Amino acid sequence: MSGRVVVLASGEGTNVQALLDSGLPVVVVGSDKPRARALARAEAAGAATVVNRDLARWGEILAPYKPDVVVLAGFMRILPDAFVLSHDCINVHPSLLPAFPGLRAAEQALAYGVKVTGCTVHYVDTGVDTGPIILQAAVPVRAGDTADSLHARIQVEEHRLLPEAVRLHLAGRLRKNGRHVEVI
């Protein structure tokens, strides 16, 4: 598959691992946290890594990698508008957006008492979890669920949908029309 995928992550990197395992052309994984497990996963797969805590510098740091898409895979920072507007960025979020944006989505879903939640892969815009939706998958909320147990089931769907959305983007099979994204 052609294309150059740049991934930004802040934590464990399970979505980074899903991208790497899917055979996508991940050229670099960046993080704002030097001890993020995502970096170790990238290094083990032979991908370059970079650490940067200055959000304003991501554009210049990633420029040499010439990304076709920047994937936010558990990157827990809000990128500057200028960066988002100059790159195709895809994010994965652990809820059926527009419900429960931001942090602690599984906790929000449980507190609200929903019967179904899930995950969303979307293009990034200048808002928080407000970009056009590419793919979604539903996950039932079970009696006795904790935020951790629910999030673990949501992650199964994230690991399936995120690589698929990136693959569709790289293949030129996603068409944006305002808030709508069509798979062609």
Q: How far apart are CA 69 and CA 71, in angstroms?
A: 6
DSSP 142: P
> Is 169 among the catalytic positions?
no
Out of 87, 93, 151, 159, pick the active-site residue. Answer: 93
Q: What are phi and psi of 77, to 5 degrees?
A: -130, 155
Q: Between helices 105-112 and 147-170, what is the axis angle to 10°?
A: 120
Tell me which amino acid residue 88 is.
Answer: D
Residue 144, judged by CB atoms within 10 A of its CB (0-12, 13-18, 19+), counts as exposed
Contacts of 28 (CB under 8 A, 6+ apart): 6, 7, 42, 47, 48, 49, 50, 62, 65
Beta strands 69-72 and 5-8: pairing type? parallel
Q: Which residues are marked as active site?
A: 93
